[in-house]
Structure 1
């Protein structure tokens, strides 16, 4: 893959193409998770380091890059056992920069999810960004730009990643050997990672589980709700998926209830289940459930959702 074959993000790609022979010293790739920031950072880096500037896959630089052993390329990210990227990790970069490039005319550093740098780490990086060596190039990928220091942002070129069109998502799915499905294109919200996740067997099973639980809900069975709560462990690391799946299902049921039409339904692969649920409940009941889950979706972190909150939500589901 090179910049010519990268799918989507046309504005960002056009900017990077122009910079291949004279790049800026620091870029921030910002946007929501799953939009291909790391992939494009890797693609751009490989092409910059390539002897022919085309990501030829043949030259020594490309072969070293593909093996992740290129001495002029480093990836910095948060260690799994740490809460942030430490100042020591950034100081290691400073030491490495001082040695200069070995094979290429650039030394490239990708800092993944750069907003996870501690304040001291960002300040340490800032010193290098203020007076970088001519051969140094930084690419910071970032899901939340507001968490970066304004001084770091001001010394970088910020490139914002947008959501993809349905045709671009289809092209990405095909490039992974997957057949684009209507419900995936509707539910992924222009995010390739979300689209690809729908083809994961575990995700499919979780989705089916949620639908079956909703369909078996009769508005009064507290034992069923407690069963749902007891199985909530399935979603402890991905509350957003649970809430989004429920919300879109309830939205579909509400739309069908009001319009008796399937044209606006997003879960097209579960059409029979949506219709069955819609026929079983009143508009006001579906709307109330939708409001409850939309409220709960606002919790930014599953860790803040206490047992008491879960009890309250499931009690509401049971008609309490």
Structure 2
């Protein structure tokens, strides 16, 4: 009868266990020094060797001819445990024996000494599945077990175990097996079963096993049945339902170029070829993870476990992408992956994610937006008349990238000529705030005739007050960008000169952010001032005295 590869090549001693030297060394030393505990907890992700190490340990503590802490696997006790003819090593699945009655039955059995071995060993797999009452029933036995008894508890979710159980066990955390160790082991197994496979094919299997040797061997088992000759990279792609790397690179390029139609065509091609949608989403997450590493790491080849040629492709693609875009893309894909798992229409979820990713290509951080737009305004490298509406609509809550558009040098020179230096002569007359407010549209026209870009920013503001030759202009929520841009020296000075020239008065300008309450207060003061001025105009200055 055929035996699965993960069972056939299960490690027989501690030295054959992959990637868990921190555990196997400790256990071997305990056996050599006869310092064996009564309860052990093996925790870690699936396929990392928890049950295998438990079985090796059960043989090692009972072996008649132990060799450097390893079981000999040749003595009658080792052979009896391997062939399950000795009943002193008991495996119990807590998922199907999780009731309190099951644990009570176990407590009755552990009282009896082993029949042929030195220790009676209970291996309880998926122990986190036990009920609360079952844990309570097990607690006393774990605390004071018979001298001949050893408990080995295995779990993938140790956080679900009560602290009372954890505190009574020696805990060993199993690490994920590295891709290098998995590939090395796969090569050894292929040589032993006389099966040929390309190195790239084995690397793909290793990456998709997610650090679990058992998963890698199960995938290899599928591939062995699929191909009699040499197993190629494309064969593994077909078996696992994974999209070709070239397709994913092409998809991301189209997302960056905002080419929605071509992006959806690539998706349709992938799905029509029978690729698994949930697997493809995982591949996309992995792709953007590699882009993140390539964007942020000095030597990404140390972290991205791929061929150097592929790493270079990631680095080149990452150069044209914003880090903020990459991070948000990973977030969107992770959320979409969770939705697609439970959706009856995962394709629609995937297509929605692609649309969201394309919309993300416009988004940048506020700081980057300010720096870009400020630089373009100063250099004259932006067509402000065409972008005027966009500047009004785009608020700080949704910063966008503005594409640079060069203006002809002749136009720039014309604007510079219009901004001639005008000497301000104070005519000595007082001006009121209401007069400034009435003339405000004319002031905006004057500024627009000289510098359109500044007028586009200024028109979103509103004059609030005028006192001691200081004009205060307020901006509401969402227009903080306009305020910051106008506070730059070259913009503020230009506005002050234009307004001062308009009224023949040296006027300074201040920009503030206002809320609805402040605006109401200012409007109220303005109305009072307006009414006062009307009274003065009607009766004359000599007859009116204003009290403050």
Query: TM-score, with normalisation over the residues of structure 2?
Result: 0.46
**Aligned pair in 2 of structure 1 residues 133, 186: CA closer, same or farther (>3 Å)?**
same
Q: CA deviation at 1:167?
A: 5.5
CA RMSD of aligned residues (A): 4.3
**Aligned pair in 2 of structure 1 residues 309, 119: CA closer, same or farther (>3 Å)?**
farther
CA distance in 1, matches of 2:290, 2:283: 11
Q: CA deviation at 1:293?
A: 1.4
The structure 1 residue matched to 2:213, chosen from 192, 213, 216, is 192
Q: Which residue number corresponds to residue 14 of structure 1?
A: 25
Q: Which residue number corresponds to residue 99 of structure 1?
A: 112
CA distance in 1, matches of 2:27, 2:296: 48
What pairs with 1:1-320 in structure 2 (closer than 5 Å)?
1-20=12-31, 21-54=34-67, 55-78=71-94, 85-164=98-177, 168-177=181-190, 183=203, 191-193=212-214, 195-196=216-217, 199=220, 200-201=222-223, 204=237, 205-209=239-243, 214=248, 217=251, 220-221=260-261, 222=264, 225=267, 234=276, 242-252=280-290, 263=301, 266=304, 268=306, 275=313, 283=321, 287=326, 289-296=329-336, 299=338, 305-307=342-344, 311-318=348-355
Q: Which moved more, 1:165-174 or 1:1-10?
A: 165-174
Q: CA deviation at 1:132?
A: 0.8
* Contact map agreement 1:28 1:158 (CA 8 A) in 2: yes
Q: CA deviation at 1:289?
A: 4.1
**Aligned pair in 2 of structure 1 residues 258, 58: CA closer, same or farther (>3 Å)?**
closer
CA distance in 1, matches of 2:283, 2:175: 23
Q: CA deviation at 1:192?
A: 3.4
* Contact map agreement 1:114 1:142 (CA 8 A) in 2: yes
Q: Which moved more, 1:222-231 or 1:120-129?
A: 222-231
**Aligned pair in 2 of structure 1 residues 23, 258: CA closer, same or farther (>3 Å)?**
closer
Q: CA deviation at 1:314?
A: 2.5
* Contact map agreement 2:43 2:157 (CA 8 A) in 1: yes
**Aligned pair in 2 of structure 1 residues 9, 275: CA closer, same or farther (>3 Å)?**
closer
Gaps of 5+ in 2: 1-11, 192-196, 224-234, 360-548
Query: TM-score, with normalisation over the residues of structure 1?
Result: 0.74
**Aligned pair in 2 of structure 1 residues 295, 173: CA closer, same or farther (>3 Å)?**
same
**Aligned pair in 2 of structure 1 residues 94, 174: CA closer, same or farther (>3 Å)?**
farther
CA distance in 1, matches of 2:180, 2:250: 36
Q: CA deviation at 1:159?
A: 1.5
CA distance in 2, matches of 1:140, 1:302: 34
* Contact map agreement 1:292 1:313 (CA 8 A) in 2: no
SS in 1 for 2:164: helix
**Aligned pair in 2 of structure 1 residues 5, 197: CA closer, same or farther (>3 Å)?**
closer
CA distance in 1, matches of 2:335, 2:15: 43
CA distance in 1, matches of 2:35, 2:300: 52
Gaps of 5+ in 1: none
